[in-house]
Structure 1
Amino acid sequence: MIFQKKKIVLIEDDLALGNSILELLRWSDFDVNWFEDGLKALVYLNKNIPDIIISDLKMPNMNGEELFLKIRKNSKFNTIPFIIITANMDDDVKFRQLENGVNDFIMKPFKVKELVYKIKNLIDLKKNIEKKFIPDPFSKITIQLSRKDFISSLNEILIKNIKYKMDMSQLSADLFISKSTLDKRIRKLTNKNITQYTREFKLDYAVRLMQLGERNIQYLVNETGFSSFSYFSTSFKSYLNITPRDYIKSINIEKIDIQIKI
């Protein structure tokens, strides 16, 4: 099996710092494309999807915040981690970046080893989330679906259609069973009807995106296929006994507590 290096897009207008980061990240076995401003990076990103994006906050032409908001309008970047580099950041600016959905920060001056660790942690987290929702295609050892295989197959279909409302006829066809058999089997295996199971699957996916660093609730609504912001919020609170905003705040507080303890 051929090893493929993780692809990084670096945006940094400081030439000396950019060169240093570029060399050290390549030395750490990453495939890095470096751009000096957000506009140049955007041209590249329109045709290429990296594993992670690292951007300075303050830059000419298009700054890091503008670039982040621009690319996150495109669903193909919905799980690409984004790290902001900055020299000075007051609380208002920092909180705005978190609310936008930026995954992490690194403050200048910094050691590249710190940046490498943050990159690897975010990539590993992204990989683990993908493994959670997309089963191994080689895991089935029999044609007859067992309980585990049935749920895995169901989840695979749901994750591929996460942005849409699943039609029962299409879902049963994809699983090669009748609608009545589908309903009975889901109730028997999960004690839930298909509507509840699908809704909670989407909410679990939203929670994992939040844990990955997503902070924009409207973006989560769109990505999970809920019909409205209010329906998403009501369903989220009913399922987890906490509002989406309060859940995001609890994650931020937990991260701050961990940083203080460290």
Structure 2
Amino acid sequence: MINQKSGIVLIEDDVALGNSISELLSLSGFNVNWFKDGIDALLYLNKHIPDIIISDLMMPNMNGEDLYFNIKKNGKLNAVPFVIITANIDDSVQYKLLENGVNDFIVKPFKVRELIFKVNNLLEFKNNIEKKFKPDPFSKVTIKLSEKDFLTSVNEHLLNNLKLNVDIDELSKQLFISKSTLDKRIRKLTNKNISQYMREFRLDYAIKLIHLGERNIQFLVHETGFNSFSYFTTSFKLYSNLTPRDYIKSIHNDSKLLENN
């Protein structure tokens, strides 16, 4: 199983896309450092070693290809998987990057599941290799959760059980606390009761999927674990002031407006 605290460096100059990718990776249990510029990312990487690097190809100042070849000069980063995101790529550039060690490509538009699967596969492969050379120092250590870690843990359990629509009883059992304690801690951290927090977590996930290109409402219902299409639609409208269909149309119209500008 992948370490839920694996560190990812994301380089993406598109603010909307970068924000969506960063949030979804964070919800999936990763620590994400997002940079909008390859030069800033390179300065960070000269001092920090992440578990994986995900970079857009076409960017101002320093594109993904130049960033990759600069990173290769740092011997400490040779074992870090590197994934490139691109809308289109010339075969010669792709072959050149693959030949020089780029691990994978993700072609826009892509589904968030594709990104998560590829990240998990690369990290699992990397972690399996590392385990052969050193033991896991945390295998028998119990770490008390801070408040931030507690909320992260709640989010991880919700995300891992999203389709199952895990209830409060089951969530409290997974976290080894009582329902009342769970509700009190959620209220303290978010000013929401646990039912509202769980429902809005699933709605936020649906909205992030929409921003990444998902248009099938029935798929959104299934992916977020709502019991029915009508309950999802009603909850979505109360939360966003728009029906799912109207929200999708608004995103589509905004994209067209940006393209025209």
| 3-state SS in 2 of match to 1:79 | helix
Q: CA deviation at 1:29?
A: 4.6
Aligned to 1:233: 233
Q: Deviations over 1:6-60 (max 9, x none)?
A: 389xxxxxxxxxxx943332234599xxxxxxxxxxxxxxxxxx763579xxxxx
Q: CA deviation at 1:247?
A: 0.8
1:7–1:52 Cα contact (<8 Å) kept: yes
**Residues 23/190 of structure 1: CA separation in 2 closer, same or farther (3 Å cut):** same
Aligned to 1:184: 184
- Count of residue pairs brought into register by the alignment: 160
TM-score (norm 1): 0.52
Q: Deviations over 1:199-229 (max 9, x none)?
A: 1000000000111111111111110011111
Aligned to 1:168: 168
TM-score (norm 2): 0.52
Residue 254 of structure 1 pairs with residue 254 of structure 2: yes
Aligned to 1:203: 203
Question: What code does the residue aligned with 1:242 have?
Answer: L
Q: Which runs of 5+ in 2 are unaligned?
A: 1-76, 120-137
Q: Which runs of 5+ in 1 are unaligned?
A: 9-19, 32-49, 56-67, 69-76, 82-122, 128-137
Aligned to 1:23: 92
Structure 1, 20-29 or 191-200: larger mean CA deviation: 20-29
Q: CA deviation at 1:143?
A: 3.3
Residue 4 of structure 1 pairs with residue 73 of structure 2: no
Aligned to 1:52: 106
Q: Deviations over 1:90-121 (max 9, x none)?
A: xxxxxxxxxxxxxxxxxxxxxxxxxxxxxxxx
Distance across 1 between alignment mates of 2:166 and 2:184: 17
**Residues 259/7 of structure 1: CA separation in 2 closer, same or farther (3 Å cut):** closer
Q: CA deviation at 1:182?
A: 1.1
Percent identity among equivalent residues?
A: 54
1:164–1:225 Cα contact (<8 Å) kept: yes
Distance across 2 between alignment mates of 1:209 and 1:260: 24
Distance across 1 between alignment mates of 2:251 and 2:152: 28
**Residues 28/200 of structure 1: CA separation in 2 closer, same or farther (3 Å cut):** same
- Counterpart selection for 1:80 from 111, 114, 118: 114
**Residues 51/179 of structure 1: CA separation in 2 closer, same or farther (3 Å cut):** farther
Q: Deviations over 1:241-260 (max 9, x none)?
A: 01111111111111111111
**Residues 203/30 of structure 1: CA separation in 2 closer, same or farther (3 Å cut):** farther
Distance across 2 between alignment mates of 1:146 and 1:54: 37
Q: Deviations over 1:158-211 (max 9, x none)?
A: 111111121323311222212221122222322222211111000000000111
**Residues 30/250 of structure 1: CA separation in 2 closer, same or farther (3 Å cut):** farther
1:163–1:225 Cα contact (<8 Å) kept: yes
